[in-house]
Structure 1
Amino acid sequence: MLNTIDNKVVVKIALFHITVIALANYAVQFTATFMGYHFTWAMFVFPLIILATDLTVRLSSQANARVIVGIAYVPAILISAWLADWRIGIASGTAYLVGQLLDITVFQRVRERAKSWWPAPLLSTFFANIIDTYTFFAVAFYQSADEFMAANWIEVASVDLGFKIVVSVVLFLPAYAALLNFLGRKTILHTR
Structure 2
Amino acid sequence: MTRLLPGVIAMAAIVVASNILVQFLFGQWLTWGAFTYPLAFLVTDVMNRVYGAKAARKVVLAGFVTGVICSFIGTQIMGEFGPLVTLRIAMGSGLAFLTAQLLDVAIFDRLREGRWWRAPVVSTLIGSSVDTAIFFTIAFSGALAFLEPANDVSWAGEVLPLLGSGPMAPLWVSLAVADWMVKLALALLALVPFRVLVTKLSPNPA
Report the TM-score, using the length of structure 2 for normalisation. Answer: 0.76
Counterpart of 1:24 in structure 2 is 18
Counterpart of 2:122 in structure 1 is 123
- What is the one-letter code of the residue matched to 2:8? A
Q: How far has the Cα of 1:175 moved from its partner?
A: 1.1
Cα 1:23/1:145, change in 2 over 3 Å: farther
Counterpart of 1:85 in structure 2 is 85
Cα 1:92/1:22, change in 2 over 3 Å: farther
Distance, in Å, in 2 between the alignment partners of 1:172 and 1:119 is 13
* Structure with larger Rg: 2
Contact 2:19–2:70 (CA<8 Å) still a contact in 1? no
Q: Which deviations, in whole Å up to 9, do the C-alpha atoms of 1:138-186 show, x marking residues without a partner?
A: 22222453444354211111111011111221x31111111112222xx
Q: Is residue 157 of structure 1 aligned with residue 156 of structure 2?
A: no
Counterpart of 2:197 in structure 1 is 179
Point out where structure 1 has 5 or more consecutive residues left out of the alignment.
1-6
- Equivalent residue for 2:50, pick from 41, 59, 64: 59
Say how many residue pairs are matched: 176
Give the SS at the match of 2:190. helix
Contact 2:108–2:123 (CA<8 Å) still a contact in 1? yes
Distance, in Å, in 2 between the alignment partners of 1:130 and 1:163 is 11
Give the SS at the match of 1:72. helix
Point out where structure 2 has 5 or more consecutive residues left out of the alignment.
75-83, 143-150, 159-170
- Equivalent residue for 1:69, pick from 60, 73, 93: 60
Quote the RMSD (CA, aligned, Å). 2.0
- Equivalent residue for 1:39, pick from 27, 30, 37: 30
Distance, in Å, in 2 between the alignment partners of 1:127 and 1:74 is 23
Cα 1:133/1:64, change in 2 over 3 Å: same
Distance, in Å, in 1 between the alignment partners of 2:103 and 2:12 is 18
Cα 1:22/1:97, change in 2 over 3 Å: same
Identity %: 29
Distance, in Å, in 1 between the alignment partners of 2:67 and 2:4 is 15
Q: How far has the Cα of 1:45 moved from its partner?
A: 0.4
Distance, in Å, in 2 between the alignment partners of 1:154 and 1:81 is 26
- What is the one-letter code of the residue matched to 2:182? F
Larger helix percent: 1
Cα 1:119/1:16, change in 2 over 3 Å: same
Query: Which moves more between the two structures, 20-29 or 125-134?
Result: 20-29
Contact 2:22–2:33 (CA<8 Å) still a contact in 1? yes
Distance, in Å, in 1 between the alignment partners of 2:39 and 2:102 is 15
Contact 1:103–1:124 (CA<8 Å) still a contact in 2? yes
Q: Is residue 104 of structure 1 aligned with residue 123 of structure 2?
A: no
Counterpart of 1:9 in structure 2 is 3
Q: How far has the Cα of 1:92 moved from its partner?
A: 1.5
Quick one: higher RCO (CA 8 Å, sep 6+), 1 or 2? 1
- What is the one-letter code of the residue matched to 1:177? R
Distance, in Å, in 2 between the alignment partners of 1:71 and 1:178 is 24
Distance, in Å, in 2 between the alignment partners of 1:38 and 1:93 is 22
